[in-house]
Structure formats: C-alpha cells, structure tokens
C-alpha cells in the first residue's frame, strides 16, 4: 500500500493545522512532523485504510483519546474539506480537556460513522445541524457541560445505533423525536437536569433498543406501557426519578431483560405475578419506593437471578420458599420493609451468598443456617427483627464475613466459639439479645475487628486477655449491661486506637488497670456500676482527648488525682465518681452530683457534699451581717455613681455579664476557653459564610489554629458562599430544643477522615461550633482554583485525587456502617471535604443542617434516634436526601474538576454514572466497603 502523493501535501497541512489548534503538554503529537515520517499513517493516533479498490492509502480516523489535549484556538474550518480529511469515518477525542463549544468543523465530515467527544469540558448547546452526519452510527458526547435542548436533528440520524448524552447539563424536556431513531440500540441520557416531565410514549417505537438509561432525568408520571414493546431490551434503568403509579406488568414480559433498575422513585402498588416471566433477569432492583403487598411466589422462576434489592418499601407477608432454591442468588437486600414469618430454612444451600441483609423487618423463627455454605458471605445483617433460637454453629465458617450485625432480636444460647474469631470481620454486633456464656479466647483471631457491641445480654465470665490482640479495635468496645466478672486484663492497654470503652453495669472487680492510660485515642470511658476497688489511676489524667470518664457506683478509695479534677465541669458530669468511698477536698466550682455519695469528700460550697470547714453559728451570723452591710454600701455607691455619671457603669456590668453567660462544652481535650474564642470573632478573620453562618479562622493564644462557625439566628439570611465548614441550603432555627443532644452525638464521632468537632459555645442568642482547622481548605476550592495554595497553573494530580476519594469514602463508610446508630451526611459535596497539610480528606458538616432545621419541629427526630428505619441503612429516603447524600457527585467533581453545580437536582444526577464509568473511584468505595452507595455487583466488576 502507498500513500496517495497527490493528496499527501493537503493532508499533512490540515493535520498540522489541527495540531497547532491544540495544546499538547504530554507531547503525544510530537510524531506529527514530516521530519519524523513523510507518511501521516506513521504518526501517533492515525488510522489509515485503502481507498476504494486501488492501493492508495488515506487517513480514515483520528484516535486521540486520553492524551491530555486541550483547545488553544478554533479547529481548522476545512478539516474535512476536499483538500483535507474527506474520508474521515472515525474521530475519538475522549478523555481530554477540550473546551469551548461543540467543534462545528466536524459537521463537514459527512462520511463520519463514529464521533466520541466524551469526558471533556465542552459547553453551550448541542449542534442543531447534527443531521448532516447521515452516516453516523455512534455519537458519544457524555461527561461534558452541554446545556439546553436536544435538537430535532438528533432524531434524523437513520444509521445511529448508540446515543450517549449522559452527565451533561441538558435542561429542556426529554424529547419525543428520539423515538424516530429506528436503528438505535443504546440510549443513555442519564444524569441531566431535564425539566420535569414524563417519559415520552414514543420511546416505545425503538424496537431495536437493547439499553435504556434514563436515571436521574427528573422524570415524573407513570412508566409508559409502550416500553413493554421493546422486546430486545436487555437493560432498563429508570432509577433516581420521581416516577409514580404502579410498575406496568408488560415490563415483566420482556424476554431478554437481564437488568431492571427502578429504585429511588415513588412507585406504588403491588408487584405483579408475571414478574416470574423475567427469565433472563440477573439484577433486579426495585428498592426505595412505596411498593406494598406480598412478594409473588413466581419469583422462584428467576433461575438466573443474582441480585434482588427490595429494601425500603412497604412489602409484607412471608418470603416464598422457592427463593431458597435460586441457584445464582448472591445478594438479597430486604431491609426496612414489613416482611414477617420465617426465613426459608434452606436459603443459601443452593447458592453462594455474598450479601444477606434483612434488617428492620418482623421476621421470626431461627436464623438460616446455610448462608455461609458457599464460603463467599461478606455481609450478614439481621438486626431489628424477632429472630429466636441460637446463632447457628455454621456461622463460624463465614471466613470472609466483614459485617455481622444481629443485634436487637431475641437470640439466646452461646455464641459459637468460631464466630468470635472470624478473621475478616470488622463489625460484630450482637447487642440487645438474650445471649449467654463467655467471650471465647478465639476472639484474638479477629484481627480486623474495629467495633464490638455486645451490650444488653447475659454474657458472663472474665474478659479474656486475648482482647488485647485486637489492635484495630478503634470505634467501640461495648460490654455494658451483662454479667461479666473478674478483673480487667492489663492487655486492654494494647487497644491504642480505641475511642469508646463501655463496661458499665457488670460485676468487674479488683483495681482499674493502669494500662488503660495507654489507650491514647480514648474519648469515652465508662466503668460505672461495677465492683472496682483501690485508687483511681492518676495516669488516666494523661489521656489526651478523653471527654468523659464515669467511675460512679464502684468501691474506689483514696483521693481523686489532681490531673483528673481538671476534667470536672460545673454544667455536666464529664468526670463522674459519685457513690464510691473517695476522700479529700474538691473545688466548689464543680457539679456536686458528680461527687455525691462519697462520705470522705468535702467541699466549701457544693450542695449535697460535706463542708470541709463547719463554722460556728455565731461566726455564721457575724459573717452574714458583714456581707449584708457591704452589699448595702456597694449598692448605694453604684446608685450614686449612676446618678452622677449616667448608666455607663451598668452598661459595662451588662457587657461583663454577657461574657460570663457563655458556656463551653468540649468533646476533646482543649487548652482554651470561651474567652479565647470570643476575642477572635473579628470580621478580618472570616474565611467563609453560608446559609447557616460565618466561619472564622481563629489563632489561639498558644499558637494553635481552629475554625469557628458562628451560627445565624433563624431570621438571618446570607449568600451561599461556603468554605468547607458550611451547612448546606437549610433554614436555621436556633431553638435549644434537641440542639445539645444532636451536637453531642456529632462530638462523639472519631475517625481519621472526619473533621473533629472540638467543642461548642452557647450564649444567650448565639451558638458557636469549634472545629479542627484544615489548612488546605476544601476539595472544591482546590479543584476550582479558589484555594490559597492554588497558584496559576496549579493542577491536582491524579494520585492525590485518588487518595482524597478513598479517604472521603472511608469517612462516609464509618458514618453509615460503623457508627451506632448510623449517621447520615445529607450534604456530601466537594466543599464539605476538607484537606489537611498532607492532603488527607476529612468529611465535614454531616447532619448539622438537618439538626438545626429540625428544631422548628414539634417532634424533632434526632440523628441518633433508635428507630429501626434509621439503623444501618439511613442513606437515601427521598429525593432531597438523595440529592445531598450521593457521594458519586463528589467523584464526578474529583474526576472532572468542574464547579459544584448550581442545580440541586443536577448535583444528584451526575452521581450514578460514575458507578459505570469511573472505575478507579468506584474501586475506592469498594475497598472502603461502601455498599450503601454502590451496587455490590459493580464492585465485583
């Protein structure tokens, strides 16, 4: 083959003009030079082929994907003219940083069959002249910033097989003229902020369609029955919309459908019996709707079914026994429904289960014993039901299980020894049952365990020293309200990362081990209502971030170590030693209820505590008279001064009183007081403001820097210019009802990827939240060039973006899966991911906006409420929650570097597409175990 010499010069000139219109920082087009080769077919990215039947070779394609190219000037107007690349059939510029409007010179390439401009930064409207490309078969404009309408010309492409417009900013209605694309096989329009409207009936005319993806398109109304005519359809995704009505039974008759996703809508009614006709279905997700009635027994006909998600509906009745016979079923999520009866006993016997989640239902009877037979189970969640009987011995074979949560049932008997030591487990939750027996020494094999919740059972015996092998136990060790006995093993000091140690209401005895002071991350220590003896270890005062120590109702003796007295507070019992046998004097500034019940303790001025000195009655009378006279003279003097010099004295006195009326409640060990904070609330220190309040950068007297959020009053309005610590778009009502309880819950959160709430200050009309300061600002600032470190040309490298994505995913996973009760963020976005000095991600502002807005309610529902609907799975309950909660929006920001979108709906709709297209960031969530955000099947891929 030879390159046609007559066209050689023209082709080279056009290609060099095209190169000059681009910026090529990686040098990917360096071979585009006649000094490299006289034939353009040897240049990087060129696709060449024979022309007609002769031996002449022509350029037929440009494959320039993922080269870091960007636009410097407009493309050459005659790129496909008679003296240009007239034979071009293939253009791929995907995964670059191309900017500006659609490249209109490409519309001259009338032979074009494949045009891929996805994953760029193109803006403005879609080209109305697209119908000039009559040979076009594949058009991919996804992941850009195109806006406006989908022009009529898009319905006039007779050869088009693939149309990808997802993840843009198209904001007109979904057009009916797309129903004219008779050869269309793939229609992907997901995650665009279309104006609210129905699914066009005309889409039922696309009889060759195999893939329809309309997720997050602001669709309303019912699902048209005409979609039941798409007999070649294999994948139908209408999730994240506002669709209502029942699911058309015709949908269940589609013979080739292998994936049906209708989750996060408002569909109602029952599931039709002909669902059993979906014989090709693999993934079926009808979750997050208002479906009711029973699950049809015909579900047992779906022999290829691997994943069934029906969670968060109103389904009732018992599960069909045939569901246990499905050979491929791996993922069963039924949580938050009204199912009852027993679980089919052979469930798991015929398949390799990976996820079994039936929390928050009314199931009774025994737990299914075959769930681990396949050896693949990772999630076993059955909490908040009425299961009875013992934990099956077979659960000891769940070698891959990561989360085993069976709390709040009526289970009894002993915990199988092998269950204690499951090697991959990071949460074991058996709270609120009737379990008995001891903790087996095999617990030392559960080396990944981060949370152990066994409270409210009848467990007994000594705490085995092997507990000290759980070096990853960082969130919680809760054994309260059991029958444990004996001394605490000194090995408990090995738990250096533990945040909460709760052993209250047991029968522990002997001395409190000094080694507890080695648990440097301890925030809460509750040893109350036991039989501990001896003195209080002075080393407890060295715990750097401890905020609560409760040693009440024991038999402790001796004096209170001075290092611990500094923890005592006048307003709360952050250090409680009441009802022991302690002695010595305590300062009068403390809360007396924290010390009562100790006959040896005295104080000069604490009610309920013995006076250290008891003066005589005569001395008492003399002192009282002297104080009365002094007060009288002082009052007369103030009145005279006020008469002579005006009310300035009382004004100063009032100002002092206002300062004295402030109260500081700390959640960490802090070295400052409220005056240090108040002195810094200067307008020069403001670093941002939002709808919830202003944020100040505060330098303390010791040189430390903190971030202080001053919350608005309920009638305060401000611009939505947030700086990482902002709350989101919620009205604020600063009523006291419920506020302290909510903030206290947030203050208990401890995770390396979550911003620490150090304390809060309250005054008469103002509330201040004090956070650790993040010197690199927010992810949003960094991506959009607003940060103080963003110099001209700054680019956040991909390794850092990946690190940030993983950190944010781990922080959210902790809130949803490792906190008890689970906590919902509700406003996850790039501005609420803050970065420390080492560019580690810290999630900020989870649930505070909701806390504030709830104070307007007559019956506020706190974030830590105990209702079953919130536990374990409080991720997305309605569209507004989905808008704030879906972290895939942040993944999109990290990948694209685009601004936070102004349209709330569009903030949500970008999200799901990253589950399919952004494998690296999805993998980060999979690593973090964030199944609340990503379908486990995608993590497998």
Active site residues: 827
Give the Cα separation of 715 and 541 in Å (integer).
43
Nearest to 479 by CA among 553, 514, 529, 444: 529
CA dihedral over 493, 498, 502, 506, signed as positive or negative: negative
Using CA atoms, how far residue 144 sits from 118, 782, 897, in Å, is 7, 20, 11
Give the Cα separation of 222 and 840 in Å (integer).
45
The strand pairing partners of 483, in sequence order, are 460
CB-CB neighbours of 884 under 10 Å = 24
Give the Cα separation of 241 and 174 in Å (integer).
13
Looking only at the bridges linking them, the beta strands covering 410-414 and 434-437 are parallel
Q: Where are the beta strands (DSSP E) in 556-703?
A: 557-559, 575-576, 581-585, 600-602, 663-666, 686-689, 693-699
Give the Cα separation of 545 and 537 in Å (integer).
17
Nearest to 323 by CA among 308, 340, 338, 339: 308
Strands laid side by side in the 121-125 sheet: 99-100, 121-125, 145-148, 169-170
Give the Cα separation of 184 and 179 in Å (integer).
9
Element (H, E) at 882: helix 879-885
Element (H, E) at 618: helix 617-645
From first CA to last CA, the distance across the chain in angstroms is: 42
Task: Tell me whether residue 25 is exposed, middle or buried, using C-beta atoms within 10 angstroms of its C-beta: 0 to 12, 13 to 18, 19 or more.
Answer: exposed
User: Per-residue DSSP letters for 380-417?
Assistant: EE--SSEEEEPPPGGGGG-TT--EEE--SSEEEEEPPH
Nearest to 891 by CA among 872, 907, 873, 875: 907
Strands laid side by side in the 410-414 sheet: 268-269, 290-294, 314-317, 338-342, 362-365, 386-389, 410-414, 434-437, 458-461, 483-486, 507-511, 531-533
Helices 648-660, 617-645: axis angle to 10 degrees equals: 130
Using CA atoms, how far residue 183 sits from 149, 155, 206, 256, in Å, is 22, 11, 7, 18
330-334: long-range contacts at Cβ-Cβ below 8 A with a sequence spacing of 24 or more?
330/306, 330/354, 330/355, 330/376, 331/306, 331/307, 331/355, 331/936, 331/937, 332/308, 332/356, 332/357, 332/358, 333/287, 333/308, 333/309, 333/357, 334/310, 334/358, 334/361
Peptide bond into 372 cis (omega under 30): no
Give every CB contact of residue 824 below 8 A, 6+ residues apart in sequence.
Answer: 815, 816, 846, 847, 850, 863, 870, 874, 875, 881, 885
Element (H, E) at 624: helix 617-645
Element (H, E) at 62: strand 56-63
Residue 708's φ and ψ, nearest 5 degrees, are -115, 120
Give every CB contact of residue 451 below 8 A, 6+ residues apart in sequence.
Answer: 426, 427, 428, 429, 473, 475, 476, 818, 820
Give the Cα separation of 504 and 499 in Å (integer).
16
CA dihedral over 512, 513, 517, 518, signed as positive or negative: negative
CA dihedral over 854, 855, 857, 859, signed as positive or negative: positive
């Amino acid at each position: 083959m030879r390159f046609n010499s007559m066209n050689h010069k023209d082709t080279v000139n056009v290609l060099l003009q095209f190169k000059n219109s681009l910026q090529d920082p990686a040098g990917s087009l360096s071979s585009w030079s006649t000094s490299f080769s006289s034939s353009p077919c040897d240049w990087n990215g060129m696709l060449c082929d024979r022309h007609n039947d002769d031996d002449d070779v022509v350029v037929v394609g440009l494959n320039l994907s993922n080269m870091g190219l960007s636009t410097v000037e407009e493309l050459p107007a005659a790129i496909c003219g008679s003296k240009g690349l007239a034979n071009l059939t293939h253009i791929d510029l995907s995964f670059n940083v191309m900017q500006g409007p659609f490249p209109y010179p490409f519309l001259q390439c009338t032979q074009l069959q494949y045009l891929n401009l996805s994953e760029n930064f193109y803006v403005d409207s879609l080209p109305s002249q697209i119908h000039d490309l009559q040979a076009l078969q594949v058009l991919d404009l996804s992941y850009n910033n195109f806006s406006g309408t989908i022009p009529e010309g898009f319905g006039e492409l007779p050869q088009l097989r693939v149309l990808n417009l997802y993840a843009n900013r198209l904001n007109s209605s979904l057009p009916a003229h797309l129903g004219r694309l008779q050869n269309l096989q793939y229609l992907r329009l997901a995650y665009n902020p279309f104006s609210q409207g129905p699914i066009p009936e005309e889409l039922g005319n696309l009889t060759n369609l195999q893939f329809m993806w309309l997720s997050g398109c602001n669709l309303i109304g019912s699902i048209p029955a005409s979609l039941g005519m798409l007999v070649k359809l294999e994948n139908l995704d209408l999730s994240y919309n506002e669709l209502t009505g029942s699911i058309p039974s015709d949908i269940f008759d589609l013979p080739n459908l292998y994936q049906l996703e209708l989750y996060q809508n408002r569909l109602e009614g029952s599931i039709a019996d002909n669902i059993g006709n979906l014989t090709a279905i693999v993934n079926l997700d009808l979750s997050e709707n208002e479906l009711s009635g029973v699950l049809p027994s015909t579900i047992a006909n779906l022999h290829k079914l691997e994943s069934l998600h029906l969670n968060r509906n109103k389904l009732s009745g018992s599960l069909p026994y045939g569901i246990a016979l499905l050979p491929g079923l791996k993922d069963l999520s039924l949580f938050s429904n009204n199912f009852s009866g027993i679980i089919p006993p052979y469930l798991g016997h015929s398949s390799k289960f990976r996820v079994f989640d039936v929390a928050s239902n009314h199931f009774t009877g025994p737990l299914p014993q075959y769930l681990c037979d396949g050896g693949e189970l990772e999630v076993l969640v059955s909490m908040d039901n009425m299961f009875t009987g013992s934990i099956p011995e077979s659960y000891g074979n769940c070698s891959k299980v990561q989360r085993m949560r069976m709390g709040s049932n009526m289970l009894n008997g002993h915990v199988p020894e092998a269950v204690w030591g499951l090697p991959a487990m990071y949460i074991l939750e058996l709270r609120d049952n009737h379990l008995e027996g001891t903790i087996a020494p095999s617990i030392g094999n559960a080396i990944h365990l981060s949370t152990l919740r066994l409270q409210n059972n009848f467990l007994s015996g000594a705490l085995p020293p092997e507990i000290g092998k759980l070096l990853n136990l960082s969130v919680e060790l809760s054994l309260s309200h059991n029958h444990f006995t004996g001394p605490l093993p000194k090995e408990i000091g090995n738990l250096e990362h533990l945040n909460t140690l709760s052993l209250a209401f047991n029968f522990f005895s002997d001395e409190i081990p000094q080694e507890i002071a080695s648990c440097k991350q301890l925030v809460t220590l509750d040893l109350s209502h036991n039989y501990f003896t001896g003195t209080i270890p002075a080393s407890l005062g060295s715990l750097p971030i401890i905020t609560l120590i409760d040693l009440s109702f024991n038999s402790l003796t001796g004096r209170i170590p001075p290092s611990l007295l500094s923890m005592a507070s006048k307003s709360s019992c952050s250090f409680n030693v009441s009802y022991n046998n302690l002695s010595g004097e305590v300062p009068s500034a403390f809360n007396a209820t924290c010390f009562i019940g100790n006959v040896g303790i005295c104080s000069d001025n604490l009610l309920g505590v013995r006076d250290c000195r008891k003066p005589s009655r005569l001395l008492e009378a003399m002192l009282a008279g002297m104080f009365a006279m002094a007060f009288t003279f002082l009052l007369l003097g103030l009145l005279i001064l006020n008469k002579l010099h005006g009310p300035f004295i009382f004004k100063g006195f009032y100002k002092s009183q206002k300062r004295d009326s402030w109260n500081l409640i700390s959640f960490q060990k802090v070295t400052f007081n409220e005056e240090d904070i108040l002195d810094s609330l200067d307008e020069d220190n403001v670093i941002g403001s939002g709808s919830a309040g202003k944020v100040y950068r505060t330098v303390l007297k010791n040189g430390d820097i903190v971030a202080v959020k001053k919350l608005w009053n309920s009638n305060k309005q401000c611009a939505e210019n947030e700086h990482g610590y902002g709350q989101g778009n919620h009205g604020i009502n600063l009523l006291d009802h419920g506020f302290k309880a909510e903030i206290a819950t947030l203050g208990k959160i401890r995770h390396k990827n979550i911003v620490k709430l150090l304390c809060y200050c309250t005054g008469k009309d103002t509330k201040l939240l004090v956070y650790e300061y993040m010197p690199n600002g927010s992810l949003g600032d960094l991506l959009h060039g607003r940060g103080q470190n963003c110099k001209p040309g700054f680019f956040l490298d991909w390794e850092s973006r990946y690190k940030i994505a993983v950190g944010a995913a781990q922080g959210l996973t902790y809130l949803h899966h490792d906190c008890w009760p689970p906590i919902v963020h509700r406003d996850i976005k790039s501005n609420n991911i803050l970065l420390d000095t080492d560019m580690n991600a810290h999630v900020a502002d989870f649930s505070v906006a909701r806390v504030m807005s709830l104070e307007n309610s007559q019956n506020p529902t706190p974030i830590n409420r105990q209702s079953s609907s919130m536990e374990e799975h409080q991720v997305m309950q309605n569209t507004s929650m989905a808008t704030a909660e879906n972290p895939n929006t942040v993944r999109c920001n990290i990948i694209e570097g685009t601004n936070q979108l102004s349209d709330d709906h569009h903030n949500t709709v970008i999200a799901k597409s990253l589950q399919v297209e952004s494998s690296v960031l999805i993998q980060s969530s999979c690593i973090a175990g964030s199944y609340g955000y990503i379908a486990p099947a995608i993590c497998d891929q």
